[in-house]
């Protein structure tokens, strides 16, 4: 059986798949359509992504894709450790602009399900961290959007990093106050 925790953001779910370990290591079923559907995660995932970040303090995000290519994500860490964040960007939501964050690591095996309508990002906590995630729609660069990772209005409590490592795109992302979000809470109900 899998441990499931509803977060403070409706629809964002923390999951801990059961691991079976012995002297060789462990086995875990990291995704099963029927099991996840029974938990209310009814996405049809169509793309898997795998990202490596060599340096501690690498920040990727906060990213999203706009409709018609909006993506839900099922995120886990395959090696190392990350601090993974989801931010509600659904206009009219009672939790608009609120965030949740969790440490996902190869050791703890936790996963985070993030529905469409949320921005997603992470910071690496160990060198050579790998993130593996499923997406409910294909990558469509023309629909990409982002929110500034360190927007003071969000007040995300990122782990301390000597000097965050950012892409040029993430370094110039707009704050939430300037985002014209294509997501509306009433549409997600």
Residues serving a catalytic function are 63, 133
The DSSP-derived string for 119-185 is: EEEEEESSTTEEEEEEESS---GGGEEE--TT-TTT---PPP-SS-B--HHHHTPPPGGG---S-BG
Tell me the C-alpha distance between 162 and 116, whole Å.
Answer: 32
* Number of alpha helices (DSSP H) and beta strands (DSSP E) in the chain: 2, 13
CB atoms within 10 A of CB 89: 21
């Amino acid at each position: 059986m899998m441990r499931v925790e509803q977060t403070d953001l409706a629809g964002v779910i923390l999951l801990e798949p059961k691991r079976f370990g012995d002297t060789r290591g462990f086995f875990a079923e990291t995704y099963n359509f029927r099991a996840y559907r029974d938990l209310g995660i009814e996405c049809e995932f169509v793309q898997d992504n795998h990202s490596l970040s060599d340096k501690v303090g690498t920040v990727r995000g906060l990213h999203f894709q706009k409709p018609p290519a909006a993506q839900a994500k099922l995120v886990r860490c395959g090696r190392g450790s990350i601090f993974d964040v989801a931010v509600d960007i659904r206009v009219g939501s009672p939790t608009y602009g609120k965030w949740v964050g969790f440490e996902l690591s190869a050791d703890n095996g936790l996963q985070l399900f993030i529905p469409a309508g949320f921005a997603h990002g992470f910071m690496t906590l160990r060198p050579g961290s790998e993130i593996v995630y499923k997406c409910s729609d294909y990558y469509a660069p023309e629909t990409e959007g982002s929110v500034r990772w360190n927007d003071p209005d969000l007040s995300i409590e990122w782990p301390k990093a000597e000097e965050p490592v950012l892409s040029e795109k993430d370094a110039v992302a707009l704050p939430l106050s300037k985002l014209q979000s294509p997501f509306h809470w009433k549409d997600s109900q």
